[in-house]
C-alpha cells in the first residue's frame, strides 16, 4: 500500500496519543471523584462482579470511536492499493469472404454488407484488452488490418471491404493464422519446410471468426488449413452467411446459383474445437461474441482506496454509537 499524501500520516501519531492521554486523565478524575463521593456515602458501592463488568465495558465505545478517528485520519493521506482484476486477453481475427457470391441478397441488404454490420457490432463489444485484426479473402488472402486494440482502425478496415473473385476458404484461414502469428504461415510447402514460415507456433488465446457462405472454389484444402489452426491452438468460429436454399447472382454477366454450404463450415469448426453459427440475421451474427473462448488473466491495478477507509470508519462509529445507546441510553 502507498499514500499520495504521505505527510498526512503524521496526523494519527499526533492526534491519537493526545486523545488517549486526555481520555486517561478523564478516567482518573472520574475515579477520584467517585471515591470521594463513596466515602461520603453519596454513591452506593457496586458489587465486585458488577464493577468488573462495568470496567471492562466502559472502554469499548471509546476504543471504537478512537479506531474510527484513526481510519479517518489515515484516509487523508489518500491510500492506494493494488487490486487484482480479471480480464480477457487475446487476439481475434475477423476473416471475411469477399468473393463475388457475397453480393447475393438472401441476407439483406447483401451477404457481405450484413456480415460487415454484424462485425462492427462485434468489434464495439470487445473489451479494450482484445486485439482485433481483419482479413479479406477471395481467390487469395489479404491482411487488411493487423491485430490492434485501436477500434477505429479495425472499423475502417471493415468498411473498405468489397466483393470480388472466387472463394478459397483455406487461403482465408491461412492468412488469418499469418495475422495472428505475425509472419507468413504456409501449408505443407516443401520449399518452406523447416523454416519459420512452416512453424506457426502456439496461440491458445486466439480465435478466427470466419464469415463466409462456405462455397469453396479454390485451394488450398480448407480442412488442412483447419488442422494447422488446431495445431496452433487457434479456434475457428465459422459464421454461415446466406440461405441454404440459395439464390442467383449475376457475376461478370453470368447468372450464377449460390447457396450456403454449411457442411464445410461445420467441419472447420469441429476440427478446431470452435463452434458454427448459422446467421439468419444481423442479431444472430452478433451472438458469436459470447461464444469466444479467450484467456482470462489476473492483473493488478493501482486504485485509491480512500473510500474504503472512510467506510470502515463510518461502520465503527455506528457500532460504537449503537453500543453506547444500548448500554447507557445515550450515544455519548
| Digit-coded pLDDT (tens) for 103-136 | 888 878 888 898 888 888 888 888 888 899 999 9
Look up residue 162 and give its three cell numbers: 468489397
Calculate mean pLDDT across residues 166-173: 89
Whole-model pTM: value is: 0.63
Cα separation, 316 vs 44, whole angstroms: 34
Given a cut of 50, whether residue 191 has pLDDT beyond it is no
Cα separation, 129 vs 126, whole angstroms: 8
Domains of the chain: 2-80+301-328 (no CATH), 98-293 (3.40.50.410)
Residue % of the chain over a pLDDT of 70? 80
Say if strands 247-251 and 277-279 run parallel, antiparallel, or are unpaired.
Answer: unpaired
pLDDT attached to residue 195: 41
If DSSP codes are grouped into helix, strand and coil, which group holds residue 218?
Answer: coil
pLDDT attached to residue 187: 76
Q: Using one digit for the tens of pLDDT, what is the confidence trace for 53-79? A: 555 677 788 888 889 888 888 888 888
Q: What are phi and psi of 104, to 5 degrees?
A: -60, 150
Cα separation, 171 vs 221, whole angstroms: 8
pLDDT attached to residue 294: 64
Look over the chain and give the mean of its residue pLDDT values, rounded to a whole number: 81
pLDDT attached to residue 155: 95
Given a cut of 70, whether residue 89 has pLDDT beyond it is yes
pLDDT attached to residue 190: 39
Cis preceding linkage at 130, omega within 30:
no
Helices (H), the chain: 10-39, 48-57, 60-75, 111-125, 151-159, 169-181, 222-231, 262-271, 282-286, 306-328
pLDDT attached to residue 197: 46
Given a cut of 80, whether residue 84 has pLDDT beyond it is no
Contact assessment for residue 303 and residue 80, using Cβ atoms and an 8 Å cutoff: yes
Given a cut of 50, whether residue 289 has pLDDT beyond it is yes
Given a cut of 70, whether residue 137 has pLDDT beyond it is yes
Q: What are phi and psi of 272, to 5 degrees?
A: -105, 5
- Which one is predicted more confidently, 126 or 232? 232
Distances (CA, A) of 17 to 12, 20, 27, 60: 8, 5, 15, 17
Amino acid at each position: 500500500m502507498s499514500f499520495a499524501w504521505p505527510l498526512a500520516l503524521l496526523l494519527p501519531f499526533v492526534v491519537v496519543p493526545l486523545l488517549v492521554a486526555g481520555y486517561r486523565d478523564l478516567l482518573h478524575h472520574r475515579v477520584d471523584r467517585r471515591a470521594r463521593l463513596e466515602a461520603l456515602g453519596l454513591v452506593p458501592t457496586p458489587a465486585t462482579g458488577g464493577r468488573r463488568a462495568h470496567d471492562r465495558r466502559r472502554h469499548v465505545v471509546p476504543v471504537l470511536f478512537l479506531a474510527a478517528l484513526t481510519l479517518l485520519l489515515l484516509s487523508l493521506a489518500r491510500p492506494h492499493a493494488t487490486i487484482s482484476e480479471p480480464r480477457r486477453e487475446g487476439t481475434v481475427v475477423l476473416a471475411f469472404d469477399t468473393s463475388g457470391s457475397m453480393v447475393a441478397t438472401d441476407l439483406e441488404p447483401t451477404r457481405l454488407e450484413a456480415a460487415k454490420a454484424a462485425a462492427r457490432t462485434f468489434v464495439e463489444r470487445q473489451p479494450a484488452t482484445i486485439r482485433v485484426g481483419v482479413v479479406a479473402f477471395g481467390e487469395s488472402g489479404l491482411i487488411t488490418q493487423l491485430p490492434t486494440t485501436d477500434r477505429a482502425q479495425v472499423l475502417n478496415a471493415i468498411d473498405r471491404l468489397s466483393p470480388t473473385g472466387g472463394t478459397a476458404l483455406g487461403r482465408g484461414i491461412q492468412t488469418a493464422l499469418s495475422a495472428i502469428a505475425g509472419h507468413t504461415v504456409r501449408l505443407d510447402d516443401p520449399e518452406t519446410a523447416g523454416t519459420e514460415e512452416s512453424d506457426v507456433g502456439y496461440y491458445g488465446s486466439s480465435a478466427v471468426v470466419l464469415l463466409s457462405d462456405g462455397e469453396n472454389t479454390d485451394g488450398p484444402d480448407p480442412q488442412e488449413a483447419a488442422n494447422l489452426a488446431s495445431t496452433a491452438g487457434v479456434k475457428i468460429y465459422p459464421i454461415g452467411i446466406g440461405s441454404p436454399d440459395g439464390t442467383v447472382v449475376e457475376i461478370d454477366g453470368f447468372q450464377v446459383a449460390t447457396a450456403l454450404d454449411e457442411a464445410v463450415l461445420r467441419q472447420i469448426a469441429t476440427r478446431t474445437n470452435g463452434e458454427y453459427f448459422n446467421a439468419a440475421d444481423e442479431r444472430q451474427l452478433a451472438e458469436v461474441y459470447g461464444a469466444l473462448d479467450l484467456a482470462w488473466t489476473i492483473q493488478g491495478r493501482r486504485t485509491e482506496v480512500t473510500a474504503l477507509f472512510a467506510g470502515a470508519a463510518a461502520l465503527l462509529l455506528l457500532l460504537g454509537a449503537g453500543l453506547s445507546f444500548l448500554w447507557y441510553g445515550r450515544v455519548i
